[in-house]
Amino acid sequence: ETGVTQTPRHLVMGMTNKKSLKCEQHLGHNAMYWYKQSAKKPLELMFVYNFKEQTENNSVPSRFSPECPNSSHLFLHLHTLQPEDSALYLCASSLEGGANQPQHFGDGTRLSIL
Amino acid sequence: GQQLNQSPQSMFIQEGEDVSMNCTSSSIFNTWLWYKQDPGEGPVLLIALYKAGELTSNGRLTAQFGITRKDSFLNISASIPSDVGIYFCAGQDNAGNMLTFGGGTRLMVKP
């Protein structure tokens, strides 16, 4: 149990669907992150929120829309995705954003786009 | 952007053998982290390093922050079957940029 919970664990959706991924952390952290993990590629940072404010958007297409209502919850809203968006989406949190802050990961949502 | 080269990409070893993997960076890092990812799960933090030359152990795992601040290695002694998984290095530079991850080392252990 890492203290970072992601739901759902698996999601299959069509390209025209709208769905949301949820992440919740119970560690008292103030920074939260979304990563994309594709086969045979390093983890790709997508978004960073620090004290509920988005501080990083790593050139992510607009079909991915993050939301951070408070420091404990992070969402990733998905719409009109493409087949190449199939991947494992990982959420992480750290005490604060910035240097010397180890990130703790959830178990991810395995997303498949039909 | 920054790049981390992690090697080897995969290793297939006999139970009881020692394992060594490393990461090198094109730039200087202030922090090195080592994670392990089991199938179907997220990466779990193994060891965090914050000072050049620092050597830190966690059970049978030992990691070092290279003196040049551009590399780090992870050693696993007396490997066991549950060591199987993908090991990732990650580094953060002194500009406070986000973590950069290596491509991972897939470890397979033969009983």
User: How near does any CA of chain A get to the CA of B18, in Å?
Assistant: 25
Rounded distance between C-alpha atoms, residue B23 and residue A87, angstroms: 24
Burial of A69 (0-12, 13-18, 19+ CB in 10 A): exposed
Partner-chain residue, chosen from A40, A42, A104, that has the shortest CB–CB distance to B101: A42
pLDDT at B97 over 70: no
Residue to substitute from B10, B24, B41, interface A, most A β-carbons within 10 A: B41
Per-residue pLDDT of chain A (114 residues; tens, 9 = 90+): 679 999 999 999 998 889 999 999 999 999 999 999 998 788 899 999 988 888 888 789 999 999 999 999 999 999 999 999 999 999 999 998 776 788 999 999 999 999
Which chain A residues are closer than 8 Å to B42 by Cβ? 2, 4, 6, 90, 92, 105-108
A22 neighbors A72 (Cβ within 8 angstroms)? no
